Chain A
């Protein structure tokens, strides 16, 4: 899914830089404003994981290869903005040092793998697993309500990660789902929905990113030709989008889904270094009552 140099017309890669510049700016601002400093190494790990998982090329019928991206896992654990920073960093290193993806195409590749993928994954996961299953380690709440005040109160107390989304679980009255999840025992619905949500988030988000890549490539013959010959990526949308979509629907999507579900399943366990918000809340409550 790494578009090399020379595949995109200047109009396209220029436009992608114009689209990505404010998004990168926003991502940096969000991470700066909302990510607890102690969680920054987790963002670095997500970037490293994304980098390494992309080295595992998988052969598929038809003689081409592909790989998982790790963008869905980063989004679920850290929130979409921090995931964007993590995956973008991996993509920039890949382009500059390893020639994987072009330097003119860095913004385009970040748009598909570091923007479309984390954001779609994050909201698919949240839709299926429920808001209270968020790990809540990186992003700010959408609605600055009671959540915000309690979050800043937490940060002043220096008790634990001032994840604003924790606060919805801290006030069980806010939603029925969160009060279920916040109980110390009996996550019966939780882990299954988490794993299912993680699988589908990984699966669907990589397919969406692949289709966006196919669309960017497929647009090129429409943008620039010379004497009937395409100047850049030569295949039309009708070839490029299905080629990218089918390979990811059949092969790389399930792999991304599996990787995401296994990792989220691992993180949801009690002895893992990173746990979802509702479990940390539950554990801290247990501590209080004991």
Chain B
């Protein structure tokens, strides 16, 4: 189990490799990119796009270039992993049954 944690930590540390890729995934363009590509911004998109402002949008804080972007990316990865582990701590309260009670749950 410890090995798996270290593996995830290593992946987080080398995650800035993922920043080397320039460009946007197909179907994930921003409104500015849209205007450049098809000349207009679809009407329904405008109303929904500003619905939610993600606190750490695009895994970037402190800068989008160079070392700052890389550090931000690593921190984002660490924060994301941390939040997932915390989420599962919470899930654990109701997602799992103690072994002693398990046999009575087998038939449900």
Report A's interface with B, CB cutoff 8 A: 1-7, 9, 28, 31-33, 35-37, 40-45, 47-49, 51-53, 55-59, 63-67, 85, 89-90, 93-100, 102-104, 148, 151-152, 155-156, 158, 162, 213-214, 217, 224, 226, 229-234, 240, 243-244, 247, 272-274
Contacts and interface: CB of A to CB of B under 8 A. Distances in A.
B42 A230 contact: yes
A226 B26 contact: no
Nearest to A149: B106
Most buried by A among B40, B96, B99: B96
Contacts of B20: 57, 59
24 contacts: A4-B49, A6-B48, A6-B49, A28-B95, A32-B95, A40-B96, A59-B23, A64-B23, A65-B24, A89-B87, A89-B88, A90-B80, A93-B80, A93-B84, A99-B56, A155-B103, A229-B42, A229-B43, A230-B42, A231-B43, A232-B42, A233-B27, A273-B3, A273-B4
Contact of B8 (A52, A65, A155): A52
A103 B79 CA distance: 19
B93 to A, nearest CB: 10
B38 interface: yes
A58 B53 CA distance: 26
Contact of B28 (A2, A63, A272): A2
A99 B87 contact: no
Given A44-B88, A52-B77, A104-B48, A99 B58 contact: yes
B8 A41 contact: no
A148 B87 CA distance: 30
B6 to A, nearest CB: 11
A285 to B, nearest CB: 22
Interface in B79-107: 79-81, 83-85, 87-88, 91-92, 94-99, 102-103, 105-106
Given A55-B18, A102-B52, 19 more contacts: A31-B96, A33-B108, A37-B92, A40-B91, A51-B77, A51-B81, A55-B77, A56-B11, A56-B18, A58-B18, A59-B20, A65-B21, A65-B22, A85-B91, A93-B84, A95-B54, A97-B54, A103-B52, A155-B106
B53 to A, nearest CB: 8
B35 to A, nearest CB: 12
B97 A48 contact: no
Listed from nearest, the 6 A-B pairs whose CB atoms lie closest are A99-B54, A231-B44, A44-B88, A6-B45, A59-B21, A57-B21
Nearest to A64: B26
A98 B23 contact: no
Contacts of A90: 80, 84
